[in-house]
A and B are shown apart, each in its own frame.
Chain A
Amino acid sequence: MLKSRRQFIKKMFSIAVYGLAVSSNFVCAKLADTQWLEQSFQPSSYKETLKHLFKGVRLIKSKRIKFSRLPRVAENGSIVPITVASSLKNVNKISILVKKNPIPLIAEFHLSPAVEARVSARFKMAKTSDVIAIIEADGKFYFKSKKVVVAVGGCGS
Chain B
Amino acid sequence: MSSIKIRTKRLNGNTQIRTLITHPMENGRHKDKQGKLIPAHHIRELWVEHNKVKVITCHMAGGISKNPYFDFLLKGGEVGDVINITWVDNQGKTDSKPYIIK
A residues neighboring B (CB under 8 Å): 34, 37, 40-41, 78-80, 83, 98, 101-103, 105-116, 118-124, 154-157
Which of the segments B2-10, B52-60, B94-102 contacts the partner chain?
A: B52-60
For the A-B complex, the count of residue pairs with Cβ-Cβ distances under 8 Å equals 105
Known: A106-B60, A110-B56, A110-B57. A115 touches B30 (CB 8 A): no
Which chain B residue shows the least CB distance to A106? Answer: B63
B residues neighboring A (CB under 8 Å): 14, 27, 29-31, 44, 50, 53-66, 68-76
| A104 to B70 Cα, complex, angstroms | 19
| A112 to B54 Cα, complex, angstroms | 8
Instruction: Let me know if B29 and A107 touch, CB within 8 A.
Output: no
Choice from A37, A98, A109, A119 contacting B63 with Cβ under 8 Å: A98
Known: A106-B63, A107-B59. A124 touches B27 (CB 8 A): yes
Instruction: Let me know if B63 and A107 touch, CB within 8 A.
Output: yes
Instruction: Let me know if A124 and B70 touch, CB within 8 A.
Output: no
Instruction: Let me know if B75 and A115 touch, CB within 8 A.
Output: yes
Closest beta carbon of chain A to B80's beta carbon, Å: 17
| A157 to B59 Cα, complex, angstroms | 24
Choice from A37, A79, A112, A116 contacting B65 with Cβ under 8 Å: A79
Tell me the interface secondary structure of chain B in the complex.
strand
Report chain B residues within 8 Å CB of A102. Answer: 27, 29
Instruction: Let me know if B55 and A121 touch, CB within 8 A.
Output: no
Closest beta carbon of chain B to A29's beta carbon, Å: 14
Closest beta carbon of chain A to B15's beta carbon, Å: 10
Instruction: Let me know if A124 and B63 touch, CB within 8 A.
Output: yes
Report chain B residues within 8 Å CB of A118. Answer: 72-73
Report chain A residues within 8 Å CB of B57. Answer: 109-110
Closest beta carbon of chain A to B83's beta carbon, Å: 11
6 nearest interchain CB pairs? A156-B29, A41-B61, A116-B73, A156-B30, A120-B71, A106-B63
Known: A114-B75, A116-B73, A116-B75. A123 touches B27 (CB 8 A): no
Known: A116-B75, A118-B72. A40 touches B30 (CB 8 A): no
Which chain A residue shows the least CB distance to B42? Answer: A41
Known: A112-B54, A115-B56. A124 touches B65 (CB 8 A): yes
